[in-house]
Amino acid sequence: MTTQYNERRSGGFFVFLLALVLGAAAMAVFLRHATNGFMERVADRIIGRTTTFDTSVPAVVQRIQRLSRLETVVYSLDTIVEGSRSSAVLPDLLAGDRILLVVHGQSIAGIDLAKLKPEDVKITTDNNGVRTIHVNLPPSELFSTTLDNQHTRVYARSTGILVPVDQNLESETRAKAEQQLQKNALSDGILDAATRNARASIATLLYGLGFQKVDVL
């Protein structure tokens, strides 16, 4: 009788120990993979962990500057651009050269956040402990204007009887197309759109750092 009792106690202890090990392993897996949302908050409460951010002016400036060139707007355009050569004496039928390009290109605009300075960021705390951050962003810029060579092609080409094909006319017309694309992007307000989008992106970042009020200009 005594032997059976000891065996039962040993078996129960083994089951208890196994359950304890499995439970600890499951808890470890849970804590390791609870990295966002509600599950992360539960994990933080279990292990007593709190998340803090350094929200001093130098730290905030560095955090924003890490975004570097923040590209916020892509302006695309499809159009037809003409380039031509003509003679002051002879008609185009004899001495002219004309090309039509079907052009697809894009302009990219945004803000170079590397230009942000510490004096552009101001943090205040009111009597209720509400922290407000004011940020003056650098002005928006047109970063680039390029043609998509895969979708840009010669639509038509005509050359006068008395002149050879001008090999430079196509490249000059492409350059003209880039200038036209850039002009259209600017006239359509690409820089204003870039500023609005950048303000929204930076405001989201700052709210995520824990500021209750955010003012981005």
Q: Can you tell me the distance from the alpha carbon of 154 to that of 111, in angstroms, rounded to the nearest whole number?
A: 35
* The two three-digit tokens of residue 200, written as one number: 């929204």
- Per-residue pLDDT tens digits for 74-86: 988 888 888 888 8
Count how many Cα atoms sit within 13 Å of the Cα of residue 7 in the half-sphere of its side chain: 4
Classify residue 57 by burial, with Cβ atoms within 10 Å: 0-12, 13-18, 19+: middle
Beta strands at 153-159 and 97-112: parallel, antiparallel or unpaired? antiparallel
* Most confident by average pLDDT, 3-7, 12-16, 37-41, 148-152: 148-152
- Across 31-96, where does the E strand assignment appear? 69-85
Q: What is the mean pLDDT of the chain?
A: 78
Q: What is the pLDDT of residue 5?
A: 47
- Per-residue pLDDT tens digits for 113-172: 888 888 888 888 888 888 888 999 999 999 999 888 888 888 888 887 887 888 888 888
Residue with tokens 């009111």: 126
Question: Is the predicted pLDDT of residue 108 greater than 90, yes or no?
Answer: yes
Residue pair 111/141 in contact (Cβ under 8 Å)? The answer is yes
Question: Is the predicted pLDDT of residue 62 greater than 60, yes or no?
Answer: yes
Q: What is the pLDDT of residue 169?
A: 84
Q: What is the pLDDT of residue 46?
A: 55
Domain boundaries, the chain: 2-47, 57-216
Count how many Cα atoms sit within 13 Å of the Cα of residue 156 in the half-sphere of its side chain: 7
Grade residue 48 by pLDDT with cuts at 50, 70 and 90.
low
Beta strands at 131-135 and 213-216: parallel, antiparallel or unpaired? parallel
Q: What is the pLDDT of residue 103?
A: 87
Classify residue 8 by burial, with Cβ atoms within 10 Å: 0-12, 13-18, 19+: exposed
Q: Can you tell me the distance from the alpha carbon of 57 to that of 121, in angstroms, rounded to the nearest whole number?
A: 6
* The two three-digit tokens of residue 145, written as one number: 């204007």
Type of residue found at 22: L
Mean pLDDT on 94-121 = 88
**Which residues 6+ apart lie within 8 Å of 158 measured at CB?**
92, 96, 97, 98
Q: Can you tell me the distance from the alpha carbon of 135 to that of 126, in angstroms, rounded to the nearest whole number?
A: 17
Q: What is the pLDDT of residue 157?
A: 82
Q: What is the pLDDT of residue 51?
A: 46
Mean pLDDT on 97-123 = 89
Grade residue 195 by pLDDT with cuts at 50, 70 and 90.
very high
Question: Is the predicted pLDDT of residue 191 greater than 70, yes or no?
Answer: yes
